[in-house]
Amino acid sequence: MATASDISIPRRRFSVSRRVLPYLLSLPALLVCIAILVPFFTAVFYSLQRFRLSQPWNRGMNWGENYLNFLSDPDFWNTLQVSLTYAFLTVGLELLLGLGIALLLKKRSRLNNFISIMLLMPLMTAPALAALMWKLMTNPNFGILSYFAAQLGFPDFRWGSSPDTALFTVLLVDIWVYTPFIMILLLAGLRSLPTQPFEAAALDGVPRFQQFWRITLPMLTPYILTASLFRLLDSIQQFDIIYALTQGGPGDTLMVFQVEAYLNFFQSMNVGRSAALLMILWVITYFLSNIFIKNWLRLRERARGEA
C-alpha cells in the first residue's frame, strides 16, 4: 500500500519562451539607457529655451539663441580655455608621473606590491574631501604646506587665493588624487607585456633606454591611450576639486564648464544657459573620446596585422 511520502507531487517549472528571453535579459540595459537619455534630451530641450527660475513668466523657446550668445561672450571663451588647459595639464602630468612610478614598480616583489597598494590610498579618498584637506593644509595662517613654503623662502605664498597660483594648487590636488589611477593601469600593462622581445634585445646588447623607446613604449601605447581617455573625460568635467578649493576663482581663473554651469543654475537661476553649457561640454567630450577610440582601434588592428 502506497503511503503519502511515496506519492510525488509534480512541481511546476517556470519556463520562459526563447523569444521572450532575449528581451528580458536586455531589460536592465534598456532601463539604464532610458535613465541616461531622458535627462539628456531634457537638457537639450532646456538649452533651446529662454528659461530663468526667477522669471518663470518670461520662459519660452529661443531656438539656439543661448548658443549664439556664446560666440560673443568672453566669459564662455575663458571657460573653454580654462577647461582645456586644466584637462590637458592634468592628464599630461599624471601620465608622466604614473608611467615613472609604474616603471619603478614593474618588478614583482612583496615590497613593490605593498608600495603600489599604499599609493592607491589617495584614489580611495573622495575628491571633494581631498580638496578640503588640501585647503586646510594650504591655509596661510596654520596650514602645514604654508609653513614649509615659508621655510623655503616663500612666506606669503597665496596658494588657491591668488590668480597666479590657483591653477598650480588645484593641479597639485588633482595629481595627488588621480595619479594612482594611471599608475595602476600602466603597471598592469607593463607586467602583462611579453618577455621575449626584451630578452632578445638584452642578448643583442640594446641599452635599456633604447628598449624603453623601441619596445616598451610602443607595446604600452594602448594602455596609455586607455588611461588618457578615462582621465581626460574626467578632467574636462572636473567639479569637486575646483569648487571645493576655489569655487572657480579667484575671479574667473578656474571657471571650468561644470562650475560655471552650476553657478548659472543655482546662483543666476539661468537654466537655459546652464543646460547649453553642459551640451557644449558633451560635444567636446564626444569629439575627444572619438579621437582616442579611433587611435586605439587603429593600434589594435596594427597589432593583429603584425601578429
- pLDDT band for 198, please (50, 70, 90 cuts): confident
For the segment 236-240, the average pLDDT, to the nearest whole number, is 91
Residue pair 52/269 in contact by the 8 Å Cβ criterion: yes
Alpha carbons within 13 A on the beta-carbon side of 240 = 16
pLDDT for 6 beyond 70? no
User: Model's pTM, two decimal places?
Assistant: 0.87
> How would you classify residue 63: left for phi > 0, otherwise alpha for psi between -120 and 50, otherwise beta?
left
Q: What is the mean pLDDT of the chain?
A: 87
Of 1 and 72, the structure prediction assigns the larger pLDDT to 72
Supply 298's cell numbers. 587603429
pLDDT for 5 beyond 80? no
CA atoms 186, 190, 191, 193: torsion sign:
positive
CA atoms 83, 86, 92, 94: torsion sign:
negative
Residue pair 75/261 in contact by the 8 Å Cβ criterion: no
Q: Tell me the per-residue pLDDT of 20-34, one tens digit each, with 9 for 90 and over.
A: 788 888 888 889 999
Of 38 and 307, the structure prediction assigns the larger pLDDT to 38
Supply 68's cell numbers. 549664439
Residue pair 179/157 in contact by the 8 Å Cβ criterion: no
3-state secondary structure labels for all residues of 243-276: HHHHCCCCCCCCCCHHHHHHHHHHCCCEHHHHHH
What was the pLDDT predicted at 181? 93
pLDDT for 169 beyond 80? yes
Nearest Cα to Cα of residue 130 among 245, 246, 239: 245
For the segment 247-263, the average pLDDT, to the nearest whole number, is 90
Judged by DSSP in three states, 50 sits in strand
CA gap 231, 226 in Å, rounded: 9
Residue pair 93/178 in contact by the 8 Å Cβ criterion: no
Which residues lie below 8 Å from residue 62, measured CB to CB, with a gap of 6+? Answer: 48, 49, 50, 272
Q: What are the Cα distances from residue 243, in Å, to 10, 26, 65, 286?
A: 64, 38, 28, 24
What was the pLDDT predicted at 22? 80
For the segment 163-192, the average pLDDT, to the nearest whole number, is 92
- pLDDT band for 201, please (50, 70, 90 cuts): confident
Angle of helix 166-192 relative to helix 217-235, nearest 10 degrees?
140
Supply 284's cell numbers. 567636446
The identity of residue 296, as a single letter, is W
Nearest Cα to Cα of residue 283 among 88, 95, 127, 83: 83
CA gap 95, 80 in Å, rounded: 22
